Structure 1
Amino acid sequence: MDIRSLARRGNHCTCPDFATNQLGTCKHIEAVRHRIAKRPDFDRIKDLPSPTAYVWLDWEGDEAPTIRLHRGAETATDLSPILQAHFDATGRFRQRVPDDFLRFVERVAGRADLEIGEDALAHARRLAEDAARAVRAAEIGERIRAGGGRLPDVRAKLYPYQVEGVAFLAGRGRALLADDMGLGKTLQAIAAAYWLHRHDGVERNLIVCPASLKRQWAREIEKFTGAQAQVIEGPTATRGVQYRKGPGFYVLNYELVLRDLELINAELCPDLLILDEAQRIKNWRTKVASAVKRIGSRYAFVLTGTPLENRLEDLYSLMQVIDPRVLGPLWRYMVDFHITDERGKVLGYRNLSELCRDRSLVRDQLPERIVQRVDVPMSDKQRAIHDDAVQAARQLAQIMRRRPLTPGEQNRMRTALQRARMACDAAALVDKEDTDAPKLDELCRMSGLKAVVFSQWERMTEQVEQRVRRLGQRRPGEATGGLLVVLDRVDDGDEAVVDDLSEGVPTALIDRRTLASLGRLGAASPIAAAEPVYEPAEIPGDDLAVAAEHPLSRKAREGLEAARLLIQQSCPGPALDLLLGALLAAAARRAGRDEPPTPQQAGIWLYGEALPEGRLGPDDAALLMRALALAQGAAAIPEPLLTALADAAAAFIEAQADPSRRV
């Protein structure tokens, strides 16, 4: 600690609080000043200047912080012109910081008659580091743009704003990316990780996210890089083995950090830490949050699409993982971004555009549509209803293998499958007393968005209306604004509502009967399909991508998605049936057929027509025959083999949608 003055804030302390509070003092300095104030000669010494000249960091005034000079009682003859060249009459450093100041420090280094304060020197070094990072980010951005928005290891072309985001993350090394939902934060983080891997030797990447997003992260990593991410799960012994798999991506949920902190720091030793959707932790004062902050890593990214929806204090705590200096001290953060009453109660927020990159800022760079799959785990009640229904359908399927089902059994089969589908949406669709709807809750978390939700269940609309009323909103006929809007249809008399959807209303949920009016709702985003696995209702008009998609391509894609879900649920038989159906649909699309062949007809069609006529290649035929052969022993297929088949099927199906990818 350096006590330079008893009359002004020119002192220095090495504690963390002094380094970040921007007040020029701390509890240690104030304690020493309080003790000195009790001395009998305090009135005599309190205004005495320091006999030695020193350079310090001044936090007072409108231009704070400012590097200043305190001149001593006497100045050496050779030092006086140096000080006069760099400081004005008030003691303010008159040249550029940090460049000229650091050169000045080198020039006067080793002098006993001039002290360079650690606070001033640390401030200049921080500015130099920030400038170097900015230059590095600019260079990274230029190199990516020179490559046409592509990185060698990443299978995607970045949009201009994504190039900026990747450059920002990789250039800063420790940074927060607060993009709106749907702007591709995951891709930007993966691309930045690969840049750091190629240029800075980053090998081990640890992604911490909500449990519901673990599989989604693994899927995105595979999609954009071809790499297999290690999802951390299972008992302690199993997790210990998983952490030792070597370089690559590791994905775990926040709750596991508390249990595995020692393993993470001792065995994994991540080079890069990525925290995704961390604002979903209800309280950053919990043990989980404390454990997250203790993960050691050279680089760290925080990704969040909704950092502003609840408590900005949690965002502040989160940023301490990255760099405590980014948001400044808590008192300034509260002043800059909070609106409070005279008692300090938070009434609202301001200047939020400084904390989040809104999609309106990059709208002209976005494609017409962005398709994103969001995994929402089922509640315990949903799982119970779903499993009971699937078990009932499985028993009837066993009967169907021996003989045709009776009309009554067919009705029971349809009812069981219907219950399973409804349970996937919400338990409330089956159990009227239940109010849980995880998919709608997930949509409500995506604050600040407009949305049109497709669902074939009218009960889902009722669930939304319950949430609207819970939030105190009124129906659209009574108000022209609110968080959620529920309509049965958009009629000519609803122009005010249409205007709201285009401008002011953050979110709208509309049932399937409004599909004919979607051309008037072009500003709505996102469009969410609540049951994406199953065949949707007919969609009029060609404004939607799904309407323009070939039926066989859609069938193949949806079959593949359903198969992947069943693989995760350890249902190899149904998963393989869906994979085979998806492959046959894609093959029929490639061969120009209107309908796919049945599994029984597939071999004859393949070798009697498709191959001889050149409509399918040998590799295509080999993939189809492999799936047909595996279908004979579906119940005994190990999950890795089934996953590999799903990956091959995904590449085959994607090639049908994009002819340029065909080999």
Structure 2
Amino acid sequence: MKSARQNPNSTPRPSKELKLSRTAAPTDLSPVDWQRGLRRQFGREQAFGLENLTSEPFFSEFRVSNPVSKSSYRVAIRGRGPGGNFCSCPDYATSELGTCKHIEFTLDRLEKKRGARSAFARGYQPAFSELYLRNEGMRRVHFRAGTDCPTTVREAAAGLFDVEHSGMLPDDRFDELERFMAIASNSGHELRAYDDALDFVAGRRDAVRRAAKLDQLFPRGAADPKLRSLLKVPLYPYQAEGALFAVRAGRALIGDDMGLGKTIQAIAATEILARHFGLTKVLVICPTSLKYQWQSEIARFSGRQGKNAARVINGGRPQRQKDYALDDFCKITNYEKLKADLDLIDAWAPELVIVDEAQRVKNWNTIAARALKRIDSSYAIVLTGTPLENKLEELISIVQFVDQHRLGPTWKLLHEHQVKDEAGRVTGYKELQKIGQSLAPVMIRRRKSEVLRQLPSRTDQNLLVPMTEMQMGLHQQNADVVAKIVQRWRKTKFLSDKDQRRLTCALQNMRMSCNSSYLLDQETDHGVKADELAALFDKLFADPEAKAVVFSQWTRTHDIVIRRLEARNVGYVSFHGGIPSEKRPALIERFRDDPACRVFLSTDAGSTGLNLQNASTLVNMDLPWNPAVLEQRIARIHRIGQARPVQVINFVSKGTIEEGMLSVLAFKRSLSAGILDGGGSEISLGGSRLNRFMKEVEGVTGSMGEGEAVTSAEEVTSDAAVYDAGVAREAGADASVDAGETAIARVDGSAAPPRSPKPDPWQALAQIGGQFIAALASAKNPDAAPHPWIERDPATGVQNLKMPLPSPEAAGQLANMLSALADSLRGRMA
């Protein structure tokens, strides 16, 4: 059968038309006529290229090319009116208008040719018959008999197609179409069945067959015991329901609340498709920061191992070409790589596309969003906890990737559901329940309150995030110092006190670099964790009652988190060891009782003795080495009196000391108290204790894995905008657990990387002042953990103050300013 196009409609066209507004419909035109008129008006204004692809002068197929966008579309002309013509552009496919600017441009050009009037008056009368798809109001398959159509085919068509509705194929008779096409083929008559019509029919038939097979495989539905053994971990009933829903729909949106396990549902659906429907190629598209998380969870839940099971797409174009050429079950890429890799993705031809955190692409007119919509696959699963955040258009765009016809055209949906004032401004939406009904076949969404009884009392998630290039540089610089000291210990089995201090300092710097470069230089803010936390809060706080506790060993982490919270007008309290004990109860009370206070930021000063059960989400920005400290943190919200399931999220930087801590220690063994968590910078170890410690260091730093440094562009477009460090908050240091903050000097003596912002001398003075006060408090209290600025003579017990200076530039500016201030004071006194 041949490929061509389509059916005539001889509706007359007006010779003169008024200029239409693109923002408001004329009172004498219906919305449909207005939209058609806009396309006719716009099409006639274009300077497109037009190429006739056949020898027919009017009722032919044409190539319409846009010299600006370098794109081209196939247009088939069968008449003047809407519905019978065809264009391969997205607007024609989704607008339900039966026309588009390319069709209107072509008609305008044809009508100016000699013989056009008589040709259109005679109409389209080919000898062959056609099976085509009309897209006027609804997509329907139609049959048009050619002038040479034999009686047997005409009779078969009369028994199958609805003649009163232009030969439309009824929805309940798709299975009979194959038999009709066989009759036409056996008759020797030419029947042209067009690709879009055949694809439409195939999709409908596949859906029916897939549903029947699922009923056969899992007769008890989500309660079927075979689903419990599908993955390495058992599915909760609502998760099994979500997986089956996605497979049954073929292309689906899972919009469950955050924390309900959308990832595991997508993996479960993938395994069903792979084991029972022949799926062999899966493409996961997610934010850069989640690529390794997907790789880890595919291995964990599905049991598929090795890079061939789930390969993270990294590196430059040559490396990505090699990766896409490999025979993998799953490939994992990020939004920023889509446009550049469309040709590679198309060549690899994924059968299932999983789109995670779809709400990250809020503007679906972006390059990444347009590229995403160009990816073709039989199956699709879109995951988002917030399918509708601000505007109805956001939901429309997300659904369009799942099923571009599900909600109908945007113009029609907005006309039916927007509420506007007299000035034409959108003030609200109406009849949204109709949208929910339309989405029911492709979207499943559950609230936590709906599945509360199915949820475990506590779930823990290690969220792997990448490092920026600057972070990786800082981390590697300190890792090199650790490697040298470890090598020296291997040879001598001895470390001097100086080496032990340098080792502790370098390890601490490695850990701090995982949060942000700000923790080391107090100027820049290169890092992913704080922005991932902000993105998590954007989802979490969609629930007006949700609250979260965020732990970090360092108050400087609080600083970078607070910037994100204040930018979003999210209320918070910051709790650390520098806060006087008499002021602490008020902070706790505010977090408990103030609905606007959503976040409790805490160092390990708050890991014991606090009851924060009004929060059900706990985030560890950095993990302690001591598992007891970790459990103390979690116990702040996971305790008697907690009415909701608790979610614990641990941010772990990929390819760093933090990942090494996970793989080697797994938080099952506790190092001696004070070595790395809140200990002083001068620690002496000896004998077997030193040996055990050094073996732990070897294990952790030797198991860091491979990391990927995200570029600044990827940071910005994946909701991880880089914040320039401004004037830091003046916060007291935690004398008991934040002492490690001072171990930030470059222990190998090398120069720091270039810093774009100039150091603020007053900021440096404020930080030195805060640490100075904390040091005095430590010296006053002999029972407190020693402050790193305090040195005690082991023989005499005399305490000395060792104060680090700011950077030379900041120190110079500070000296000049203090000198000027002193001169001014002397002048006043004189």
**Deviation per CA, 1:125-165, whole angstroms, max 9, x where unpaired?**
76666555555555566466454262655212222222222
Give the structure 1 partner of residue 329 of structure 2. Answer: 248
> So what's the TM-score if we normalise by structure 2?
0.52
CA distance in 1, matches of 2:687, 2:237: 46
Match of 2:447 among 355, 359, 364: 359
Partners of 1:95 and 1:101 within 8 A in 2 = no
1:259-658 alignment, distance < 5 Å = 259-266=340-347, 268-281=348-361, 284-285=364-365, 288-289=368-369, 291-309=371-389, 316=396, 321-335=401-415, 351=432, 357-360=445-448, 362-364=450-452, 365-390=454-479, 398=488, 401-405=493-497, 414-434=504-524, 438-446=528-536, 447-449=538-540, 450-456=546-552, 457-472=554-569, 489-491=587-589, 495=593, 497=594, 500=595, 508-512=598-602, 513=606, 516-519=610-613, 521=614, 524-534=615-625, 535-536=629-630, 538-539=632-633, 544=638, 568-569=655-656, 579=664
1:528 Cα deviation after fit: 1.5
Give the structure 2 partner of residue 608 of structure 1. Answer: none
Give the structure 1 partner of residue 95 of structure 2. Answer: 21
Partners of 2:87 and 2:103 within 8 A in 1 = no
Partners of 2:255 and 2:387 within 8 A in 1 = yes
Change (3 A) 1:470 1:386: same
1:199 Cα deviation after fit: 1.6
1:639 Cα deviation after fit: 8.8
1:416 Cα deviation after fit: 4.7
SS in 2 for 1:223: helix
**Deviation per CA, 1:192-246, whole angstroms, max 9, x where unpaired?**
2221222222223232322221211111111112222222334555545444543
> So what's the TM-score if we normalise by structure 1?
0.63
- Residues paired across the two proteins, number: 563
1:2 Cα deviation after fit: 2.8
Partners of 1:539 and 1:547 within 8 A in 2 = no
SS in 1 for 2:464: coil
CA distance in 2, matches of 1:582, 1:85: 68
**Deviation per CA, 1:235-267, whole angstroms, max 9, x where unpaired?**
55554544454342222334444444444444x
Code of the aligned partner of 2:497: L
SS in 1 for 2:270: helix
1:414 Cα deviation after fit: 4.9
Over the residues paired in the alignment, what is the CA RMSD in angstroms? Answer: 6.0
- Structure number, greater radius of gyration: 2
Partners of 1:209 and 1:254 within 8 A in 2 = yes
SS in 1 for 2:533: helix
SS in 1 for 2:11: coil
Q: Which sits farther off after the overlay, 211-220 or 39-48?
A: 39-48
Partners of 2:281 and 2:352 within 8 A in 1 = yes
Where structure 1 has 5 or more consecutive residues not aligned to the other structure, the ranges are: 71-77, 477-485, 549-556, 587-597, 604-626, 642-663
1:510 Cα deviation after fit: 0.8
Structure ranking higher in strand proportion: 2
Percent identity reads: 30
Partners of 2:143 and 2:166 within 8 A in 1 = yes
**Deviation per CA, 1:302-357, whole angstroms, max 9, x where unpaired?**
33334434676566556555442234223234446766667776667774865672
CA distance in 2, matches of 1:368, 1:632: 34
CA distance in 2, matches of 1:257, 1:529: 31
CA distance in 2, matches of 1:424, 1:636: 14
Partners of 2:548 and 2:616 within 8 A in 1 = yes
1:493 Cα deviation after fit: 10
Match of 1:225 among 295, 299, 302: 302
Q: Which sits farther off after the overlay, 94-103 or 280-289?
A: 94-103
Change (3 A) 1:340 1:189: farther
CA distance in 1, matches of 2:349, 2:163: 50
Q: Is 1:184 aligned with 2:261?
A: yes
**Deviation per CA, 1:38-83, whole angstroms, max 9, x where unpaired?**
99999999999999xx99999899xx7899999xxxxxxx999x99
Structure ranking higher in helix proportion: 1
Structure showing greater relative contact order (alpha-carbon pairs closer than 8 Å, 6 or more residues apart): 2
SS in 2 for 1:518: coil
Where structure 2 has 5 or more consecutive residues not aligned to the other structure, the ranges are: 1-5, 13-80, 145-151, 541-545, 574-583, 643-647, 672-685, 707-830
CA distance in 2, matches of 1:632, 1:461: 27
SS in 2 for 1:517: coil
CA distance in 1, matches of 2:405, 2:612: 46
Partners of 2:222 and 2:244 within 8 A in 1 = no
Code of the aligned partner of 1:3: P
Q: Is 1:204 aligned with 2:296?
A: no
**Deviation per CA, 1:520-549, whole angstroms, max 9, x where unpaired?**
x1xx4432222235444835968627999x
